[in-house]
A and B are shown apart, each in its own frame.
Chain A
Amino acid sequence: MMAALQELRTAGTMQLRGLQVRCVRGGREVFSGLDFAIAGGEALAVTGRNGSGKTSLLRLIAGLLAPGGGSIAIEGGDAELTLPEQAHYLGHRDAQKPALSVMENLAFWRDFLGGESADAGECLDRVGLSHAVDLPAAYLSAGQRRRLSLARLLALRRPVWLLDEPTTALDAAGQTMFTGLMREHLAGGGLIVAATHGPLGIAARELQIGAAS
Chain B
Amino acid sequence: MWRDIRIALRVGGGALIGVLFFLTVVVLMPFAVGPDLALLTRLGPAILWLGALLASLLTLDRLFMADLEDGSLDLILTSRTPLELTCAAKALAHWIAAGLPLVIATPVLGLLLNLDMVATGAVALTLLAGTPALTFTGMIGAALAVTLHRGGLLLAVLVLPLAIPVLIFGMAASQAAITGPMTFGAPFSILCALSLVSFVVGPFAAAASLRHGLD
Instruction: State the A residues within 8 Å of B (CB).
Output: 25, 59, 62-66, 81, 84-85, 87-89, 91-100, 108-109, 111-115
Residues of B within 8 A of A (CB-CB), count: 19
Let me know if A64 and B74 touch, CB within 8 A. yes
What's the dominant secondary structure at chain B's contact region?
helix
The complex places the Cα of A88 from the Cα of B80 at a distance, in Å, of 12
Bound form: Cα–Cα A87–B44 in Å: 54
- Contact B11–A93 (Cβ < 8 Å): no
* Secondary structure call for the A interface: loop
B70 A113 Cβ-Cβ under 8 A? no
Complex CA gap A77/B10 in Å reads 38
The answer on a CB contact under 8 Å between B215 and A93 is no
B75 at interface (Cβ–Cβ under 8 A)? yes
Cα–Cα distance between A59 and B72 once the two chains are bound (Å): 14
Which residues of chain B in 81-106 are interfacial with respect to chain A, using CB atoms and an 8 Å cutoff?
Answer: 81
B160 within 8 A of A: no
Q: B78 contacts the other chain (Cβ, under 8 Å)?
A: yes
Q: Which A residues touch B77, using CB under 8 A?
A: 62-64, 84
Show 27 A/B contacts (Cβ-Cβ < 8 Å), sorted by A. A62-B78, A63-B77, A63-B78, A64-B74, A64-B78, A64-B214, A65-B214, A89-B75, A91-B74, A93-B69, A94-B71, A95-B75, A96-B70, A97-B7, A97-B70, A99-B7, A100-B7, A100-B11, A108-B7, A112-B3, A112-B4, A112-B79, A113-B75, A113-B79, A114-B80, A114-B81, A115-B80
Asked if B78 and A87 sit within 8 Å, CB to CB, the answer is: yes
Q: Is the CB of B80 within 8 A of A113?
A: yes
Provide the bound-state CA to CA distance between A85 and B80, in Å.
Answer: 6
CA distance A115 to B80 in the complex (A): 8
CB nearest to B12 among chain A residues: A99
B72: nearest chain-A partner, CB-CB: A95
Residue of A nearest to B76 (CB): A112
Q: What 13 additional pairs, Cβ within 8 angstroms, besides A111-B3, A115-B80?
A: A25-B215, A62-B74, A64-B214, A85-B80, A91-B74, A93-B69, A95-B75, A97-B7, A97-B72, A98-B11, A99-B10, A112-B75, A112-B79
Q: Find out whether the CB atom of B70 lies under 8 angstroms from the CB atom of A114.
A: no
User: Given that A64-B74, A108-B3 are contacting pairs, would A97 and B11 also be in contact in the complex, using a CB cutoff of 8 Å?
Assistant: yes
Instruction: Please determine whether B80 and A109 come into contact, CB atoms closer than 8 angstroms.
Output: no
